[in-house]
Amino acid sequence: MERLKQNNATAEEVTALLNQAVNGAEAMRAEMEAKKQAQFAAVKKANEDASAANEVPWTKEEMEMLIKAMKKYPAGSQRRWPCLGEYVNTLGLTTTRTKEECIDKAKAITKKQHEEIKKKAQEEDAKKIAAKLEAIKRQEEEAAKLAAMPVVWSSGEDRALTRALITFKASMNKIERWECIAEQLGLGMLNIVLTGTDGFFNNIG
C-alpha cells in the first residue's frame, strides 16, 4: 500500500491489485482442495483394493442363508444387520461374516433384485405394447376388408333412395342435395351412402 501511495496510484489501480490478490488466494485454495480430494480418493481406493484382496468369496450356502435372513429381518427391523451376520454364521463355517460384510452383500443382492424386477417389468410392458399394436393392426385389416366388400341394398332401401332422389332434385347444390338425402335416409343409410355407392352416385349426379 505504501508503494501505491508513493507512486500516486489511482483508485482503479488499487482495486485491480486487490482483486488480483483475492483471485490468487482463491485459486491457491481451490488447488489445495483438489489435491486433498485426490489424496482422499487414492486412499479410499487403496483401502477398497486391500479389502477386496482379503475378501473371502461367499459360498452358495452363505448366500442362501443371507437371503433367508433378509426375508426374516426385513428393512426396519431392530438390530437387522447384526442379526443377519448371526444368522449366516449359524452355518458354522470357518469364515465368520462381519456385520459390514453382510451389509455390503445384502445391498448387492437388493440392487440385483431391483434390476431384475425392472427388467422384467420393461419386458412385460414391451409385450403389452406389441399385443396392442397387433390388435390395432388386425382391426385395421378387418376394417379394410369390410370397406372393400360390395354394399348390397335391400329393396326397401332402394325405394327409400329413389324417393329421396325425386324429392331433392338434381338442380340443387350437389353437396346440399346429398346431405338432405342422407338426412332423410337416416344414420344407418348414411353409412351405406358414404361407403358403397360412389359409382352409383356418379351415374345419377
Q: What is the pLDDT of residues 26-59, one digit of tens each?
A: 878 888 888 888 877 776 666 565 555 567 788 8
How far apart CA 76 and CA 39 sit, in angstroms, is: 36
What's the total number of domains in the chain?
3
Which residues constitute the domain of residue 193? 151-204
Same domain flag for 130 and 176: no
Same domain flag for 67 and 127: yes
Specify the pTM. Answer: 0.39
Same domain flag for 79 and 142: yes
Same domain flag for 130 and 66: yes
| Residue at which a domain ends, from 128, 146, 164 | 146
Same domain flag for 127 and 179: no
Radius of gyration of the chain from its Cα atoms, rounded to whole angstroms: 42
Considering the chain, what is the average pLDDT of its residues? Answer: 76
Report residue 39 as a C-alpha cell: 489424496
Whether the CB-CB separation of 18 and 11 falls below 8 Å is answered with: no
Which pLDDT does position 59 carry in this prediction? 85
Same domain flag for 66 and 138: yes
